[in-house]
Structure 1
């Protein structure tokens, strides 16, 4: 029995399931959907990974536990996912500098080649000083520097929208020119990743238009002009209705990768006019159950797919909760549950983010994951949650 702390300060007795669900790993790609899983990283427990660094200077580069970080990628590959590397799930732009991100991409590329895994990786401009002005040429060179690393790793490029480009570009033609240069250099079709101003205010005016409809049309025109160089797109945040509407406007054969946290079952299942594929950290969280769901869909059993994936919605909603569905701290839940599951031997994070969620929040995440049967070793998970609660002041 475990004493689970509730947000109101009370304790609830919880009896762990005790029996794991049986999942059979299968590393082959899903046939019905393209599913990219952004993967978390684990901090080096012996490194000075402070949250903010010296009082008058930038934080020092963060150090990773490479063994645990790469082991989790092997876990995702073993279940058939494409690992999406060096995105915000890996603290990109939130503690992970470009030098460390580049090393992460290189090491993941080597691991992917060793196990036959599929890899995609982010191409961005985060080596540029965010507080300085930059020219179009500066932005282009930064993108190309990162693209070279991604290409050498054998990964599909996920070209992320850049605040530096939004600051430097003024016209639709300037945006189109930068993206055309990048797409000409890719050896395989890329994914275009566009976060809207609702989440990233510095992306206001992206694609050279202040209006949302004009910007969206410019985006679609760019895709149409480079149709053979583009695998798919991710645009967020969008309501489910807005996602479906945009998905239907894309040129034929271009995927829409949903990043939705709470209606992903319906969006991925789709309708008579199409479906969404997926590029979401949700699959870092629920990999074994989600893989089982996608295999079920591959066999033509949509009802079984929906039942399996719907069962994960409560856990996902909890881990990703936050203002505007754009919480910065979902990563804490991912790393915590991976530690409970035995994928790492400690719970330390970049920027000391292991402290970013409350004890009741993490305790509930454990309970929901246990009820789903996500822990291959429930006894280990029970031992570790009790350790965590005890050092957090909850006597067991």
Structure 2
């Protein structure tokens, strides 16, 4: 199978107002014929991995008949949203629900989030779901630390039946004057949770509003705050999800955690090496990319269980260029790539997203995502994927 795909290019052009030409670059693309070469990773059902805990942060499917324009309340296609979660569970993955992959703070409002949590928790197999607990029901503006803690508490109450993930909070980042303020809020919450929580450290590349989280601009100093928090509340902390896209910083933090506290990698660039570990310690997984590469992730984790390092590397290696493409700058638009692949693979009827976020990536970017998904073997039905992408390209003015 083949189709014509857009390819981005850069062409020199004249400076603004110039009549002589030269000096400024403008972007102009072209087309190339692409022939699919990948072999889809074998489908099937898997038991949960034994050697690692693995959560896929799942996206939400927008209702194509709803008004999901920017700023409008989210209208969710509940049927396909829940079917996608069952797809992940059947592959042996657990679901990290209502996280940033589900467009928290980027189209998914608190009312829709509560319904998402309620429905997913009701259908999840025992122990196979964790839920994002945040403060995004707070309106933009100034808030007190008590306001922030109260918002967390409301969402903690809504997470009953699932393991809570205390998500990084824009409101706390804007309100806190230093590490002590973070401690006041987190100590209060950890003392109330009925189950050990997963902490959440999301770097500013995922959300610029989280710059300087934990009250420190320097990552190493922020890690000191995190380690002290965990040491002081070790019975209430299951682990911490770290999304800094820096393997060296993650390994350094992992070495400092108390015995029994897990590090869940959220590094969508370096996950194979971090999950494999260094012979002494390893990272468990809580990853948005696992939603896009779920069959490959399931196969790789089974190989790890079986001690088959060669298969682990062979399956995971071609997914890394795809992950780096989907999570390329601006990283917070990675959600568009996740929904795009779900559509190509038949998990949702249309390439639509809440908040109109399907426009977050240009056609050349999506074309590169398509190529790399093929080469990674994660286009589960290549004929369907080609047919659907041709439709999108035609709407965009490209006869593929």
TM-score normalised to the size of structure 1? Answer: 0.89
The aligned counterpart of 2:146 is 137
Distance 1:382 1:262, change over 3 A: same
Q: Distance in 1 between matches of 2:340 and 2:229?
A: 40
The aligned counterpart of 1:263 is 270
Question: Is the 2:242–2:267 contact (alpha carbons within 8 Å) kept by the matching residues of 1?
Answer: no
Within 5 Å, give how 1:151-190 maps onto structure 2. Answer: 151=160, 154-170=161-177, 172-190=179-197
Distance 1:316 1:206, change over 3 A: closer
Structure 1, unaligned runs of 5 or more: 52-58
Distance 1:139 1:311, change over 3 A: same
Question: Is the 1:39–1:83 contact (alpha carbons within 8 Å) kept by the matching residues of 2?
Answer: yes
Cα offset for 1:238?
Answer: 4.8
The alignment of Structure 1 onto Structure 2 pairs a total of residues equal to: 380
Q: 1:321 aligns with which of 317, 328, 341?
A: 328
Q: Distance in 1 between matches of 2:349 and 2:203?
A: 37
Distance 1:368 1:193, change over 3 A: same
The aligned counterpart of 1:37 is 56
Q: 1:121 aligns with which of 102, 108, 131?
A: 131
The aligned counterpart of 1:92 is 104
The aligned counterpart of 2:339 is 335
The aligned counterpart of 1:383 is 387
Runs of 4+, deviation exceeding 6 Å: none
CA displacement 1:42-85 (0-9 Å, x = unmatched): 2111112112xxxxxxx231211111111111111111111111
Distance 1:269 1:21, change over 3 A: closer
Q: Distance in 1 between matches of 2:381 and 2:211?
A: 47
Tell me the secondary structure at the aligned position of residue 248 of structure 1: helix
Tell me the secondary structure at the aligned position of residue 219 of structure 1: helix
Q: 1:24 aligns with which of 44, 48, 53?
A: 44
Structure 2, unaligned runs of 5 or more: 10-28
Q: 2:79 aligns with which of 67, 74, 77?
A: 67
CA displacement 1:236-275 (0-9 Å, x = unmatched): 3252111111110111121111111222111111113311
Distance 1:202 1:384, change over 3 A: closer
Question: Is the 1:234–1:257 contact (alpha carbons within 8 Å) kept by the matching residues of 2?
Answer: yes
Distance 1:246 1:385, change over 3 A: same
Within 5 Å, give how 1:190-209 maps onto structure 2. Answer: 190-196=197-203, 200=207, 202-203=209-210, 206-207=213-214
Question: Is the 1:286–1:312 contact (alpha carbons within 8 Å) kept by the matching residues of 2?
Answer: yes
Question: Is the 1:17–1:378 contact (alpha carbons within 8 Å) kept by the matching residues of 2?
Answer: no
TM-score normalised to the size of structure 2? Answer: 0.88
Q: Distance in 1 between matches of 2:176 and 2:57?
A: 29
Cα offset for 1:351?
Answer: 1.4
Q: Distance in 2 between matches of 1:117 and 1:158?
A: 14
Tell me the secondary structure at the aligned position of residue 48 of structure 1: coil
CA displacement 1:181-237 (0-9 Å, x = unmatched): 322332322110023456656546644556554432222111011112111112332
Q: Distance in 1 between matches of 2:340 and 2:208?
A: 30
The aligned counterpart of 1:54 is none
